[in-house]
Amino acid sequence: MLIIICGLPGTGKSTLAKALCKEFNAIRISSDRIRKGSGTPDYSEEGREEIYKKMVGEAAKAIMEGVNVVADGTFSKESWRKEMEKIAPSNGCFLVLCTIPKEDVRKRIMFRKNTESDADYEVYLKLEAKFEKPEDFIRVDSKLPLRERVIAVKKAIKWKQKK
């Protein structure tokens, strides 16, 4: 199983991704972790392109080994989501879009501590202007308590698997 968590910075992607890993016995592949591991955080278009290529490579390897994957990143471009979807196993690929009102994002970003992300509110605004909203996705309201978000995703996945 491949679950792609997407959304703008500060919308609760990593928190949800970590919780879903526990629920689905999955590994988390994080754009923030890969970016930090590469030395200097690079939010340029080329830098971001490279991060997503690495994510697809790591996810493909894990899926080939039979491991469930939660891919955690903004996935702001449709092409990045499509590349990740190509490696999905036969038992499914699920796209989850985390959302939260803009006024809450600024507060979250200002007060977050000990996170992998270096994205500040300026990065949020730049990505917001370019974000290519997906067409078929599971929408998660990140203002809900974490447990409710996890339950909502699990129900949506179960429903999509029955289709």
pLDDT at 39 (0 to 100): 67
pTM score > 0.85 for this model?
A: yes
pLDDT in tens, the chain (163 residues): 999 999 999 899 999 999 999 999 999 999 989 988 776 667 778 888 999 999 999 999 999 999 999 999 999 999 999 999 999 877 689 999 999 998 898 887 777 666 677 677 788 888 899 999 998 899 999 999 999 999 999 999 998 887 6
CATH 3.30.70.2860 for domain 2-162, yes or no, is: no
Go through the chain and tell me how many residues it has.
163
Q: Which two tokens stand for residue 159?
A: 């429903």
Q: Domain residue spans in the chain? A: 2-162
Question: Residue 105: its pLDDT value, please?
Answer: 84
- The 10 Å Cβ neighbour count of residue 127 is 17
